[in-house]
Structure 1
Amino acid sequence: MSDEQQKDSYAANPNQKTYDIPHQVDHEVNVVKIYFAKQVPKMTWEKKEETYPVKSGGLVSDVKKKYEKKGRRNIQADKEDSVKLKAKEEVKITWEEEVQEMKEGKPVFDYEKIDKTTVKKKVWVVANCQGTSGKLSVEIHENKLTNPENVYENPVKFLDEETEKTTIEFSINGTQVYAKEITLRPKSDPDLKKLIEKFTKRKDLNAFLYFKAEVKETQDKAVFPDDTHEFLNKESERFEISGTPCYCNRDITVDEMIDLIYHLRDKQNYKSKRDSFFNSGKEKILAIGITSGKISENRDKIKLFTDEMNTMFKKFDIKTCKRKIHFLGQMYLETISFTYTFESRDSVPDNYKGGVDFQGRGMKQITHDYNYLAYYDYVNSTTHYETYTTFRFKYESVGECVKNRPKAQEKGLDAAFYEQLKTYAKNISENLFHAFNSAGWYSTVYKDDTIKAMDEGLEDANVTKVTKAINGGDNNIAERKDYTKWTREFFKYDTECVNK
């Protein structure tokens, strides 16, 4: 960022398309809007051309396809698409490419309005203000809403670079759009800790912020949208701030999930299938499978996945960074880098109780018919698993118990039900709810040693202990350690987590 951009008087691009500004009136300072934003590059379309040397024939249309990628449009050739090309022939390709706009050798930025953030994050305060004199003074305040006490003292303290302030001031000079980057935290670490502790004691672990503004040092008339001089304080506009800078006690966002997927893929050097997502195996969850395009271009599918995961985390009390990191690291291994919800074996080892029908499924790859039976009981409030453990002989499978134990059959654990269980099992690999619900249940309710091990730490020894709790051994332990470590890095656990 340039020195000029960091000044309070820095004017953002005045030609933003998103926020229209009325015509400026002489002898009047009109404060139109104030909002929180993120800085985004202002993009423009630039004409490009290139001569493509043909190597071994093909059509002109095939050459044009080689130039297709995100950020390009209007790809044209100097020959018709249907023309057949010969080796060593040349084709001139032209297109428009999206690039960042520059002005006087410096990049130009726009400001995109945002409606939420977390403590400790940097945000931009942007003001649309018409006029040529005076200073616009802006304070941040907290709206109490349903919480009886504010977690912040009003006005809210923030950091301007390294200086703690309660007021932002813009020098009004006719440029209409003003922007300042701030950090939403008090300066001292003890004050930050007290703030986060106040958040965690509240009914809702968030707050809603708004702006109060005044115009000073001018003879011109100051005009505001209403007499309150407040912005973002209406029901549909309030800005939400979560009371933790880490992933404890909050949802993982779609953008964070996309970034995490790419982070893990890049760490493992997963180039060929970097943008594949739950598209492999004989049984799939079709709603989230990505077979074409980039993961970042399939936000709707990642949102389905992320929403279900967040719901599961809340239901099974997987709410701390530590638990989420372990869960995600193990899930990434179990699902083969987020591509399979079913093992898809044609034959299975002899120790797979129930055989091929009960191989691994879901986000934790539940295996063995007795585990499927226990999950069936959990969902349907039945007692078949209790019948099985009562009447089985030693460690026989559910199928063997059904076949050999008449008393179990009398209790309903019979051949007809066992066939029904085989059909039910596919829910775990083909239904998004059951894929996550079974994984949360297995890690907390059914195998509570797993979540106990998660709470003990994130070092390699802890990963080994969690792995043994999940599958009884240390299969793929090196990868599990790597995936957990890389997720820990992405979460910035060592510097950001408030519950270490």
Structure 2
Amino acid sequence: MTTGKYEQQRSEHNGKPVAVAQASSCFCNRDFTVDDLVSFYGKKKLFSAKNCPLPQEQRNIELLTRKLNYTMNKFGINTCLRKAHFLAQIEAETLFATTEEYSSGWDYDNSTHEDGHKKYVLFKKDPIKYATYEKYKRNFYRYEECIAHGHNVKGFGPKYKGRGLIQLTWKDNYEDFFKKLKELGEKEQDISNPYIVAKELHLSCLSAGWYWRNKSALGDLNKFADEDDLIAISAGVNGGSNGFEHRKVNVKKIIKLMKIRECCNNLSVTSIGTYKFKNSNLYKNPRWRKIYEKKFIKYDD
């Protein structure tokens, strides 16, 4: 972590150096420095995957630090625990290797599943006659999901596949995000050009902040961060337990380096940094418990 009374950091608004007071207080309502992020993530080559469309000049820790601070300020990710969990999750999602999903996106396309959908409809009408069509069950539901998200034109799957630091996916979600950008006074974006979310680090970061507050599977993730509920947050971001151990290592490290236990005066929980399924909001909700218990309980501290 940085030390000393002041350090220079570049303003998000005009790029000019500004003095930032380095108090011994916590990180609630205080920006991170480049050194802070390096301590969290280590020194790594950023956005180096072959598929990453970010321009070379945007692949640096200085710009990433500024854009993450800007995003957290914009979306009220403004307490120590909220920041720690947000930073832990965005690194786990992409490893900061790319801003675009690796897969082609055709699994999000209605045309991929249309034939299977029709066959499963026949199976539902006559399970005996069309018994061999039972295997198309996933195609049936995936097709319905595609249509529900506005993917009714061939090619929309690849066009609106995952982009940004928390992989913004589906046409309707891009529409909602672009609408929010306009409300926030950001530059207006055209829904016909979703590719820009992966090509501009500013939008890659903002899309993650928007998802965190508005579009996760469990709703606003700030409320779970306030309770240090890593398990619920991971389910909200990822939909399951993929990469959970990595997410756990991340947040424990960041909590320690931020000295949240020692310095933060805004904690609403008495204990942080220990994660058991029975203490999660997922356990307390019968419906969520049924969905997630087997996925997470094996990772209990």
- Preserved CA contact (<8 Å) 2:88 2:254: yes
Partner of 1:339: 97
Partner of 1:395: none
Gaps of 5+ in 2: 8-18, 109-141, 147-155, 184-189, 268-301
Cα separation, 2, equivalents of 1:342 and 1:450: 22
1:356–1:249 distance in 2 versus 1, CA, 3 Å: same
Cα separation, 2, equivalents of 1:279 and 1:306: 17
Q: Secondary structure at the match of 1:479?
A: helix
Q: Match for 1:246 among 13, 19, 26?
A: 26
Q: Match for 1:285 among 54, 61, 64?
A: 54
- Preserved CA contact (<8 Å) 2:80 2:264: yes
Q: What is the correspondence of 1:36-55 to structure 2 with a 5 Å cutoff? A: none
Under a length normalisation based on structure 1, what TM-score does the superposition of the two structures give? Answer: 0.37
- Preserved CA contact (<8 Å) 2:105 2:161: no
Q: Match for 2:180 among 378, 381, 384?
A: 378
Are 1:451 and 2:209 matched, yes or no? no
Report the alpha carbon displacement of residue 496 of structure 1 after superposing the two structures with TM: 2.6
Deviates more, 1:321-330 or 1:465-474: 465-474
Runs of 4+ in structure 1 over 6 Å off: none
Partner of 1:499: 266
1:471–1:280 distance in 2 versus 1, CA, 3 Å: same
Partner of 2:277: none
Cα separation, 1, equivalents of 2:97 and 2:79: 25
Cα separation, 1, equivalents of 2:106 and 2:221: 25
Partner of 1:328: 87
Partner of 1:477: 244
Partner of 2:132: none
Partner of 1:488: 255
Gaps of 5+ in 1: 1-37, 39-113, 118-238, 263-273, 290-300, 382-419
Q: What is the correspondence of 1:1-150 to structure 2 with a 5 Å cutoff? A: 116=6
Cα separation, 2, equivalents of 1:487 and 1:115: 22
Cα separation, 2, equivalents of 1:363 and 1:282: 14
Cα separation, 2, equivalents of 1:436 and 1:499: 25
Deviations 1:57-90 (A, max 9, x none): xxxxxxxxxxxxxxxxxxxxxxxxxxxxxxxxxx
Cα separation, 2, equivalents of 1:449 and 1:240: 30
Are 1:310 and 2:55 matched, yes or no? no
Q: Letter of the aligned partner of 1:288 in structure 2?
A: Q
- Preserved CA contact (<8 Å) 2:52 2:97: no
Cα separation, 1, equivalents of 2:82 and 2:237: 14
Cα separation, 2, equivalents of 1:453 and 1:344: 29
- Preserved CA contact (<8 Å) 1:281 1:341: no
1:446–1:248 distance in 2 versus 1, CA, 3 Å: same
**Structure 1 or 2: more helix by fraction:** 2
Flag the structure with more relative contact order, 1 or 2, with Cα contacts below 8 A and sequence separation at least 6: 2
Partner of 2:171: 369
- Preserved CA contact (<8 Å) 2:34 2:65: yes
Q: Secondary structure at the match of 1:285?
A: coil
CA RMSD of aligned residues (A): 2.6
Cα separation, 1, equivalents of 2:50 and 2:257: 28
**Number of corresponding residues:** 202
Cα separation, 1, equivalents of 2:105 and 2:204: 22
**If you compute each CA radius of gyration, which structure gives the higher value, 1 or 2?**
1
Q: Letter of the aligned partner of 1:436 in structure 2?
A: C
Report the alpha carbon displacement of residue 314 of structure 1 after superposing the two structures with TM: 0.9
Report the alpha carbon displacement of residue 348 of structure 1 after superposing the two structures with TM: 4.6
Under a length normalisation based on structure 2, what TM-score does the superposition of the two structures give? Answer: 0.60
Cα separation, 2, equivalents of 1:434 and 1:115: 32
1:250–1:367 distance in 2 versus 1, CA, 3 Å: same
